[in-house]
Structure 1
Amino acid sequence: MTSLGYELIVISACVLGGVSLKGGIGKISYVVAGVLILGTVENAMNLLNISPFSQYVVRGLILLAAVIFDRYKQKSRTA
């Protein structure tokens, strides 16, 4: 079993957990919370029989929202 294709999930969980893409900020407990949130969303999508392609799109949108929020936090911290 290989781990191909898990990059988006791992990065999404970390960013959702509050790890900054610029580095230097983040806690393990927050990453665990991000993993639990993403796992819950993925499980709910599986239970609702959402297609794998749509699930990938939703994960990408979650990552995009988390990155935008991170950038907003970075700007407000420096302003």
Structure 2
Amino acid sequence: MQAAEATKSIRKPTNLSLDSALLKEAKVLGINVSRSAEAGIAVAVKLHKQENWLKDNAKALASSNAYVEANGLPLAKHRQF
């Protein structure tokens, strides 16, 4: 969401179907439903991208982990902890 805020993204009117009781409660509480929905969608997009990245890079991650298990960390002798 930070990148979208920094670039002043263009907002597009959208129709959503929401639980009427939840919408009523949000309005009573003074919650900006549009901004809240946008924030929730931003979180969902971020999580989806993370899942896709992990899936796309699973082979490389497994290979790297296997190397470390077999050989240890390449620069372990230089660790100071």
TM-score by length of 1: 0.43
Higher relative contact order (CA 8 A, sep 6+): 1
- As a proportion of its length, which structure holds more helix? 1
Larger Rg: 2
TM-score (norm 2): 0.42
